[in-house]
Structure 1
Amino acid sequence: MSVEPKLTRFKQNVLSKYQIYNSIFMTLPFDAITKTGVLLPLFHETCEKGFKKGDDPTTIVDTFFEKYQGRRSKESQINLLFRFIQYIERQVVLFDAIEDVAFPVVNNMEGIGTLRNLKESANSENKLEELKKYLEEFKVRIVLTAHPTQFYPGSVLGIITDLTKAIKENNLSEINNLFGQLGKTPFFKHKKPTPYDEAKSLIWYLENVFYKSFGEIYNYIQQNIYDDGKKHNEIINIGFWPGGDRDGNPFVKPDTTLKVAKKLKQSIIKKYYEDVKYLRRKLTFRGVEDRIIKLETILYSYSINLKAEEKISSKELIKELLSIRNIVVTEHQSLYVGELNNLINRIHLFGYYFATLDIRQDSRIHHDVFTTVIDHLIETGNSSFPNNYHDLSEEEQIEILSKANDNIADLDVFEDEMVNNTLKTIAAIKDIQKANGEKGANRYIISNNQTALNVMQLFAMLKIVAFKDALTVDVVPLFETITDLENAPEVMEQLYTNPEYMAHLKARGSKQTIMLGFSDGTKDGGYLMANWGIFKAKELLTEMSRKYDITAIFFDGRGGPPARGGGKTHQFYSSLGPTIEDKEVQLTIQGQTISSNFGTLDSSKYNLEQLITSGLFNSFGKNKSAMSPDDKAVMNDLAETSYQTYKDFKSHPMFIPYLERMSTLKYYAKTNIGSRPSKRSKSDKLIFSDLRAIPFVGSWSQLKQNVPGFYGVGTALKAYEDRGEFDKVEQLYNNSKFFKTLLENSMMSLTKSFFDLTKYMSKDEEFGDFWNIIYEEYITTKRLLLKLTGYEALMENEPSGKASIEVRESIVLPLLTIQQYALKKIQELQKAEVKDEEQIKIFEKIVTRSLFGNINASRNSA
C-alpha cells in the first residue's frame, strides 16, 4: 500500500476538513449582532489585500468600516471587533480539534523515532540485547509546569475534548451543538487562577492522557522488547511544578504544596480503583473474584478519604495483585492476565504519588532566609555556627554548612512570612514523602543559582529543618544566565570536592541533577549563544562529573517555542553527540506545548516515544562523532558574534521603551492566565532582569517579530560571508546535526514573523530607527539561512509543519490587525490634551482579549 506524502495527508485530513467545518461554524448565530460570520471573511480579505498594498492596520480597519459598515455607530463598530475576536478564538479551537483528530494519520505512528521502529532496527542489526541494556538504565522525565502560555479555561478544554471526539466520528449534530456551546462559553478568566487551580487543570492531563499513554508505552516495552513479563526500569516518569514552584510566586504557600500532593495521591488511587472495577467484570473466577471485590471496596473508600479506616499501601496493592495473577496463571489458563499486568505496570510507574512534586525557589530568597535562620541559631547560644559566620570566606562558610547539625524545635519562632513559608515548605517535603512515598517530593531546585554556597545553604537548611538522619532530597542547581553557565563546572567541582556533599550524592546513587534554563538564557544571551552556552556547559559538566565518578543528569527548562529553547525537541536531543551525558532526558513542558504535544493519547504516545528514541539514538551507536575542533571554532565564533549583536540591541536606548509602549508587554499582567506576577520585583519601573521570559518572548510574538528566535543569527552568518569564508559555515551545517537543528528552529521563528503588520512603525519619529534595526536583522537572517540550506523558501524540508503554521497565521491575521489598531488608538488617546479614560479602557480591553487567540494559535511551536 502506498502512503501519500505527509503534506497531502495534511491537506486532505486537516485543511479540507477545517474548510468544511468552518463554513458550518460561520453560519451559526451566537449573538444579537447578526452577520458576524458573514462579515469576518470580508474583514479577513480586507486585511490580506491591505497588507499586500502596504496599508497599516488602522487604515485597514477604517477601510473595512467605510466599505461595509458605514452606517454603524462607533460603539457598534467596536462591538463588531469584539465579536470578531470571539469568532477567531473559536476558529483556533476548531483547527486544534481537527489537527488532533488527524494526528495519527498525518504522522506515521510506526515510523522513524517510534518504539516499533527502534525495535525493528535493533533486531535487524542484532542489537536487541544492547537495546535491552540501555532501556534498563535510560529514563525520560517530562515535567509539567504551570507557566502560563495556555489561555483556555477548563470548561473550554472539556469542549475541545468533546469536539475532537465528535469530529473523529463525523457526528454532525453533535458538532453543531458543540459549536453552539463554544460560542456561548467565555474564553477569558474573570480572576487569576490560584496555584491549586493550575495544579487541578494539569492533573486533568495526568488522569486523562498520561495515565494511559505511559502505561501503553511501558506495556509495549515489557511485552515486545523484553518479552518476559518482569518488572523493569520504569523508563518514563513525570514531574510536576504547580504547587511546588515558588520562584517569584508569592501565592504558593506550604499548605498549597500539601494540598496538591494530597490531590495527586487521591487522583492516582481513583485511577487504580477504576481499573480494578473494570477487572472485576473480567476476573469472575473461583479464588479470585472475592479478592478483587475486596480490593475494589478498599480503593473506592480510600480514593474518597485518605484517612479511611481500611487502607492499603502501594506495596500491599502490588503484592495482592501479583498473588491474584499467580492464581489466574496457574488455575485459570492466564485469562485476562494482560489486563492484570497493565494495572501492575501502572502502579510500578506511578506509585501513590502520580507525579513527583518539585519545589523551586530563587537563591536570593534562600540567602535572606538563611541569614535570618543563622542569626537565630547563633542567638540561642548552642549552635554549630560561630558568631563571626557572616564575616568568613565562602570556602569557610561551605565547610561549616556541610557539617551543620543544628535543630530548630519550633518553626513559628520566625515571624517573617517568607522565612516561615520557606522552612515550612521543607517540613512539607518530609510529610509528603511519608504520605505518598519518597518520589512524592524529592527534588528542590534553586533558580538563579550562581555559587556552590547557594547549594550548600539549601543542603544545610534541609538537614536542620527536617532531614537530620538521612537527606532523601536531591538539591538541583539551576544555571540560567550566560555567565552562570560559564561558571557552572567550577561550582560543581567545589561541591564534588566537599566530602559531606559527596557522601550525600553516593547515598543518592552517585547522580547529580543539574538544571539549565533555556528561556532565561535566550532572554539574556540571544538565540545562538543561549543554545551554544548550554551545549558547552553540558560538555564541561559531563567531563567534570565523570572525573569524580558522578553521573550528571541534565534537566532542561526548554519551554515551548524555539525562542524559549523549545523547537523540535526530539531532534535536539538526538543531535547532542557523545561528549554529553545522556542517561536521562529531562525537560519542562508548559502551556500550549502540553496540549499540542501531549494533549491527546495519540500525540502523547508519539512524542514520548520520539523522546525515548532520541535519547537512545545517541547511545545506540548512530551518532558517535563529536564536533571537530574546526567546526567547534566556527560555532563558537558565530555564537560570540550573535551574542555581541544581541547585547548591543538590548542596550539600545529604545529597547525597553519599545517593549513598554509599542508591544503588548504590560497587558500580560491583565490576562488572568497564571497565578504568578509577570515580573519578579514590585517596582513600577521596568527593569530587564526582572522580566519574566514568558511575557518577554510573548510580546515579540504578538508583534509578529519573534526577535528571541533569530536576532543575531543573520549578523553572525554575514560576518563569514563578508570575509569570503561562508564555506566554513556550510561545512559546520553539513557536519553538525546540533547546528542544523538550531537553524531549523530559527527558521520556524522566521516563518511565524510578519513584519507587514508593524511596518507603519518604521515611519514613527521615536521608534522608526529601532524598528528598522529589527527588520534589517530579519531580512539578513532569512536571506542567509536560505543561502546556507539551499532552500527556495523557509521550512521547505517540513511542508506539513509549514502548512499548519500558515493556516494558523492566516486565522489570526484579523486578530493581529485589530490588536495593532487598538494599540495605535491607545497611543493617540494618551497623547491627547484631554484624555478620554473610558475610550482608553475599551481599547485596552481589545488588546488584552486579542492576546488569547494569538497565543493559543501558535501551539505548533515545539
Structure 2
Amino acid sequence: MSALPQLTRFNDNVLSKYQIYNSIFITLPFDTINNTGVLLPLFHKICEKGFKKGKNPTQIVEKFFKKYVDSSKEHVKKDLLFHFIQYIERQVVLFDAIEDAAFPIVNNMDGFGTLRNSQETAILRNKKEELKKHLEDFKVRIVLTAHPTQFYPGTVLGIITDLDKAIQNDDLLLIKKLLAQLGKTPFYKKNKPTPFDEAVSLIWYLEHVFYKSVPKIYNYIQHHVYDGHPIENEIIDLGFWPGGDRDGNPFVTTQITLDVAERLRQSILRSYYRDVRRLKRRFTFDGVQEILVGVEKRLYKHVVRSYAKVNFSQKILLKELETARDIVKEKHEGLFIDELNDFINKVRIFGFHFATLDLRQDSRVHHKAFTQIVDDLLASGDTTFPKNYHRMSEEEQIEVLSVIKGNIDPTILTDEMSEKTIQSIYALKTIQQRNGERGANRYIISNNQTALNVMQTFAMLNLCGFENELPVDVIPLFETVDDLENSESVMRTLYSNKSYRYHLSKRKNKQTVMLGFSDGTKDGGYLMANWGIFKAKEALTKVSREFDIEVIFFDGRGGPPARGGGKTHQFYSSLGPTIEDKEIQLTIQGQTISSNFGTEDSSQYNLEQLLSSGIKNEVFTKDQINDKHRDLIEDLATTSYQAYVDFKNHPCFLPYLEKMSTLKYYAKTNIGSRPSKRSNSDTLDFSQLRAIPFVGSWSQLKQNVPGFYGVGTALKKYEDAGRFDEIVDFYNASDFFKTLLENSMMSLTKSFFGLTAYMADDPFYGEFWKLINQEYQTTKRLLLKLAGHKELMENQPVGKASIEIREKIVLPLLTIQQYALKKVQDLQKEGADASEIEMYEKMVMRSLFGNINASRNSA
C-alpha cells in the first residue's frame, strides 16, 4: 500500500470513501424535512456555479429558493437553511472520521521524520552515540489549551472515535447506525462551558490518546536507541492550561484550579488502576501477585475517594513496581517483564499529575494586584516593604523584590484581584503536595514588558511561605513587536540579579521564555511576527549563554499559520545553531488537538515528527541564515510591517471587522469559557481584542489577512527593483524562509474572495475590500513566481487535496453565513423587528461553528 504515491493513497482511502459514505448519509431521514439531503447537493451546485459567474451569496440563495423550493413561506426557507447547516456540520465530522481512519495508510508511519527513520539514519551515518547524547536532555512539551477554536461536545468526539474504528473495519451496518446517531446528536451547546468543563473535554485526549501514544514512543527509544537501558529523561512532557489560565478569564477561580488538578490526578490513577488489573492476569507468581494486589487496592482507594492527607506518591508506586520487577527477573526468568516495564515507564512519564497545570495571568493585572498588596501590608504595619517603595525607581524596586520572603494571609487584602492572585499561588502549593512538584510548577506572565513584571511575580510567590527554594519557574511571555525587541534587555536585568540568578541555579540553570505568535501577528503582521520571534530567540540564546543559562523557548503557536501554526515540525527543524533547541515546547488547541493528536496514530506520528525535527536540527543538519539573507529578511519584514501597520490604521479597519465579519458573534457563542476580549467595554478596542476571534473573523470571511498581508508588498518591492532573483536564491537556500512562505501559501489556499466580492460595491467598505483583495492577488502571484509553481501548495498535494475537500464541503455554509450577515445589515437599516434580526444572527452563529471545525487541518 505504501508503495503507491501519497496522493493516490489519499484519493483511494479518504476521498473515495467520503463520497460513498456521504451518499449514504444524505439519504438518512433525521427530521421532518425528508428532502434536506436531496436538496443540499443541488444547493451546493448552485453555489459553485453562482460564484463562478460572479453572483453574490444573496443572489445564489434566492435563485436556489426560486428553482427548488416550492413555497412562498419565509419560515420554510429559513428552516431549510438551518437544516443545511446541520447536515454540513455532520459532513465535516464524517470527513474527519474518514481522514483519521486512513491516517496510517496515507502517512508513512516509518517514513521521513519518524523515529525509526531518524534512528536508522543515525546508524547509517555512524551517529548513534550522538543521538543517544542528544536524547538524554532533549524534550518535547505539548501544552493543551482550551482556547475556543473547536466546539465538538464529548458525545460527538465519541462518535468520531467509533466511526474511525468502523471505517477502518469497513463495517457498513455500524457506519450507517453511527451516521444516524450523528444526525440526531446535538452539536450546539445551550450553555457556555465552564473552565472545568473545558478541562474535562481535554482530559479525554489525555486518557484515550496520549496515555497510549507517549509511552509507545518512549519504549521505542528505550529499546532501539538505548538498547533496553533505562532513560533518565521523560522525553515527552504534557502541559495543561484549562483551570490555570487566568489571563482575561474571570471564570477561572482558585477552586476550579484545585478541582482541575484533582481531576487530572484521579484520571491518571484511574488509568494506572486499569493497567494494574490487566497486569495481575499475567503476574500470577509468588511475591509479585501480592505487590500488585496491594498497589491495586491503594490506587482504587485514591481514585474513588479524594483523601485530604496524601500518603501515596509516584515515588512510592515506583518503588513497589521496581521491587516486583526485581522478583520477576531473579525468580521468574523475566517472564512478561516488558509489560511491567511499559507500566513503570508510564508512571515515570505521567507521575501523579498526568499533565503539568500551568498558571497564567496578564502582567497589567499583576501590577495592579501587587501594588494593592504592598499598600495593604504597609497599612497593616507590616515591615516587609519599605514605606517609600512606590517612590523608588524600577531598579531599586527590583532589588527589594529579589529578597522578599513571607507567608501572607490573603484574607487581609482589601482588593479582590490581589486576594485571588495570592490564593492561586497557595493553590499551586496544594497541588504540588498532592500531585508532586510537576503537578503545577510554572507561572506564566502574559503581556510581559519589563523585568519588574517578572520580579513582582517572583516576589508574590516568595510571599506565600515556600520553604527553602522556590519550586516554581517564572516564565515571561513576550508578544508584541516592541516586547520582543525588549526581551533581551529584560532577561539581562533578571540574570544580573543575584537572587534571581540563585533561584535559576536551583532550577538546573534553565529559564523558560514564552513567545506569542498570535498576538505578535495581530500586532505586527505575518512576516514581522515570525522574523521578530526568530531574532528574539537569537538574542535570548546569546544573553542566556553569556550567563551560563540554558534558555528554553515555549511557543504559543496556535493553529492556523497566522497564529504560528502551519507545518510545525518543519519550522523547528529549520532553526539554526544561533537558537537554543534543547527543548521544543508549544501550545496546541481546538482543531489542532483533534487533527494532529486526535487518534493514537496521528498523535504518535506528529509527536515523532516534533522529536525528529529537534534531532535533525541538532544531530544531522544546521540551517544558518547568512548575513546577506539576514539583510534581505530584515528589509522584507520592515516593508511588510509598514504595509500592515498602514492597513491597521486605515479608518475602515475596525468598523469593517465589526460590521462585515463575524467578530461580534464569537462573543455570543458557547464555544469557550473565556470572553472574546479582555475588557468589558462596549466599544471595540484593538489592543483588548483577543487573537483568536481576530484571526477567526478573517478566516470566516475567507480573507486570511493575518497570514499574508504585507508579504506581497514586501516581495513586490524587490520585483520592481529588479532584485527578485535574490529572494529566489534565499528561498532555495533557507529552510526557515521556505517554511515561513509555505505556511503563508496555506493561508492563501484557504482564502476565497469570490465569497465577498459583492463588498467591492459597498459605498463605505468597497475600497477597503479592494485593498485587501489587491494584496491577496499580489502575494499569490509573487509566491507562485518565487516557488516556481503554477498552483498554491503544489508541493504538498495531500494537504492541498484535504483543504480543497473541506472548502468544498463548507462552501454552502459560507454562502448561508454571508447571506445571513447581509440580511442582518439590511434589516437593521430598515429598522426591522428585533426577533427577525435575531433569527438571522442565530444563522450566522450556527454556520460559524461548522466553518471553524472544517479548518482542523490548519496546523
TM (norm. structure 1) is 0.99
Question: In the alignment, residue 279 of structure 1 is paired with which amino acid?
Answer: L
Structure 2 residue matching 1:466: 3-state secondary structure: coil
1:120-159 matches, cutoff 5 A = 120-159=120-159
Contact 1:426/1:466 (CA < 8 Å) preserved in 2?
no
Identify the residue that residue 511 of structure 2 maps to in structure 1.
512
Say whether 1:15 aligns with 2:15.
yes
Identify the residue that residue 317 of structure 1 maps to in structure 2.
317
Contact 1:219/1:342 (CA < 8 Å) preserved in 2?
yes
Q: Alpha carbons of 1:535 and 1:826: their partners in 2 closer, same or farther (altered >3 Å)?
A: same
1:538-617 matches, cutoff 5 A = 538-617=537-616
Say whether 1:672 aligns with 2:640.
no
In structure 2, which of residues 715, 719, 722 is the aligned counterpart of residue 721 of structure 1?
719
Cα shift at 1:734: 1.3
Cα shift at 1:315: 1.1
Contact 2:313/2:436 (CA < 8 Å) preserved in 1?
no
Contact 2:410/2:419 (CA < 8 Å) preserved in 1?
yes
Task: For 1:578 and 1:505, locate their aligned partners in 2 and report how far apart those are by CA, in whole Å.
Answer: 23
Say whether 1:800 aligns with 2:777.
no
1:204-283 matches, cutoff 5 A = 204-283=204-283
Question: In the alignment, residue 645 of structure 2 is paired with which amino acid?
Answer: K
Contact 2:405/2:465 (CA < 8 Å) preserved in 1?
no
Identify the residue that residue 814 of structure 1 maps to in structure 2.
812
Structure 2 residue matching 1:395: 3-state secondary structure: helix
Cα shift at 1:229: 3.5
Task: For 1:854 and 1:381, locate their aligned partners in 2 and report how far apart those are by CA, in whole Å.
Answer: 58
Structure 1 residue matching 2:514: 3-state secondary structure: strand
1:502-524 Cα distance to aligned partner (Å, 9 max, x none): 00000101010000000000000
Identify the residue that residue 851 of structure 1 maps to in structure 2.
848
Structure 2 residue matching 1:792: 3-state secondary structure: coil
Task: For 1:322 and 1:405, locate their aligned partners in 2 and report how far apart those are by CA, in whole Å.
Answer: 40
Task: For 1:605 and 1:406, locate their aligned partners in 2 and report how far apart those are by CA, in whole Å.
Answer: 45
The number of residue pairs the alignment matches comes to: 859
Contact 2:445/2:475 (CA < 8 Å) preserved in 1?
yes
Task: For 2:68 and 2:459, locate their aligned partners in 1 and report how far apart those are by CA, in whole Å.
Answer: 70
Structure 1 residue matching 2:402: 3-state secondary structure: helix
Question: In the alignment, residue 839 of structure 2 is paired with which amino acid?
Answer: I
Say whether 1:745 aligns with 2:776.
no
Task: For 1:337 and 1:419, locate their aligned partners in 2 and report how far apart those are by CA, in whole Å.
Answer: 52
Question: In the alignment, residue 852 of structure 2 is paired with which amino acid?
Answer: I
Identify the residue that residue 731 of structure 1 maps to in structure 2.
729
Contact 2:2/2:108 (CA < 8 Å) preserved in 1?
no
Cα shift at 1:326: 1.2
In structure 1, which of residues 685, 691, 694 is the aligned counterpart of residue 692 of structure 2?
694
Say whether 1:770 aligns with 2:746.
no
Task: For 1:269 and 1:125, locate their aligned partners in 2 and report how far apart those are by CA, in whole Å.
Answer: 42
Identify the residue that residue 61 of structure 1 maps to in structure 2.
61
Task: For 1:270 and 1:330, locate their aligned partners in 2 and report how far apart those are by CA, in whole Å.
Answer: 30
Structure 2 residue matching 1:639: 3-state secondary structure: helix
Contact 1:298/1:311 (CA < 8 Å) preserved in 2?
no
1:780-835 Cα distance to aligned partner (Å, 9 max, x none): 00000010000010000000110000000000000000000000000100000x42
1:63-118 Cα distance to aligned partner (Å, 9 max, x none): 00000013241110100000000000000000000000000000000001100001
Cα shift at 1:307: 1.4
1:546-604 Cα distance to aligned partner (Å, 9 max, x none): 00100100000000010101000000000011100000000000111001000000000
Task: For 2:231 and 2:273, locate their aligned partners in 1 and report how far apart those are by CA, in whole Å.
Answer: 21
- Where do 5+ consecutive residues of structure 1 fail to align? none
1:581-639 Cα distance to aligned partner (Å, 9 max, x none): 0000000001110010000000000000000010121111312x421100000000000
Q: Alpha carbons of 1:713 and 1:21: their partners in 2 closer, same or farther (altered >3 Å)?
A: same
Q: Alpha carbons of 1:639 and 1:279: their partners in 2 closer, same or farther (altered >3 Å)?
A: same
Identify the residue that residue 328 of structure 2 maps to in structure 1.
328
Cα shift at 1:308: 8.6
Cα shift at 1:313: 2.2
Identify the residue that residue 630 of structure 2 maps to in structure 1.
632
Identify the residue that residue 463 of structure 1 maps to in structure 2.
462
Structure 2 residue matching 1:28: 3-state secondary structure: coil
Say whether 1:26 aligns with 2:35.
no
Identify the residue that residue 404 of structure 2 maps to in structure 1.
404
Question: In the alignment, residue 307 of structure 1 is paired with which amino acid?
Answer: Y
Cα shift at 1:413: 1.3
Question: In the alignment, residue 705 of structure 1 is paired with which amino acid?
Answer: Q
- Where do 5+ consecutive residues of structure 2 fail to align? none
Task: For 1:679 and 1:308, locate their aligned partners in 2 and report how far apart those are by CA, in whole Å.
Answer: 38
Task: For 1:174 and 1:787, locate their aligned partners in 2 and report how far apart those are by CA, in whole Å.
Answer: 49
Contact 2:591/2:856 (CA < 8 Å) preserved in 1?
yes
Say whether 1:477 aligns with 2:476.
yes
Task: For 2:234 and 2:288, locate their aligned partners in 1 and report how far apart those are by CA, in whole Å.
Answer: 28
1:322-369 Cα distance to aligned partner (Å, 9 max, x none): 111111122212111010000000000011011000000000111111
Identify the residue that residue 528 of structure 1 maps to in structure 2.
527
Task: For 2:381 and 2:295, locate their aligned partners in 1 and report how far apart those are by CA, in whole Å.
Answer: 55
Task: For 2:776 and 2:263, locate their aligned partners in 1 and report how far apart those are by CA, in whole Å.
Answer: 47
Task: For 2:331 and 2:202, locate their aligned partners in 1 and report how far apart those are by CA, in whole Å.
Answer: 42
Task: For 1:379 and 1:400, locate their aligned partners in 2 and report how far apart those are by CA, in whole Å.
Answer: 18
Task: For 1:164 and 1:390, locate their aligned partners in 2 and report how far apart those are by CA, in whole Å.
Answer: 61
Task: For 1:551 and 1:480, locate their aligned partners in 2 and report how far apart those are by CA, in whole Å.
Answer: 21
1:706-741 Cα distance to aligned partner (Å, 9 max, x none): 000000000000000001111111111111111100
Task: For 2:207 and 2:382, locate their aligned partners in 1 and report how far apart those are by CA, in whole Å.
Answer: 50
Structure 2 residue matching 1:673: 3-state secondary structure: coil
Percent identity, aligned pairs only, is 67
TM (norm. structure 2) is 0.99
Identify the residue that residue 842 of structure 1 maps to in structure 2.
839
Which piece of structure 1 moves more, 167-176 or 292-301?
A: 292-301
Task: For 1:663 and 1:543, locate their aligned partners in 2 and report how far apart those are by CA, in whole Å.
Answer: 43
Cα shift at 1:379: 2.0
Contact 1:358/1:445 (CA < 8 Å) preserved in 2?
yes
Contact 2:310/2:434 (CA < 8 Å) preserved in 1?
no
1:362-377 matches, cutoff 5 A = 362-377=362-377
Cα shift at 1:2: 6.9
Task: For 2:840 and 2:516, locate their aligned partners in 1 and report how far apart those are by CA, in whole Å.
Answer: 36
Task: For 1:313 and 1:727, locate their aligned partners in 2 and report how far apart those are by CA, in whole Å.
Answer: 62
> What is the aligned-residue RMSD (CA, Å)?
1.1
Contact 1:257/1:428 (CA < 8 Å) preserved in 2?
yes
Task: For 1:676 and 1:793, locate their aligned partners in 2 and report how far apart those are by CA, in whole Å.
Answer: 39
Structure 1 residue matching 2:482: 3-state secondary structure: helix
In structure 2, which of residues 780, 783, 794 is the aligned counterpart of residue 782 of structure 1?
780
Structure 2 residue matching 1:265: 3-state secondary structure: helix
1:13-72 Cα distance to aligned partner (Å, 9 max, x none): 000000000000010000001200000000000000000000000000000000001324
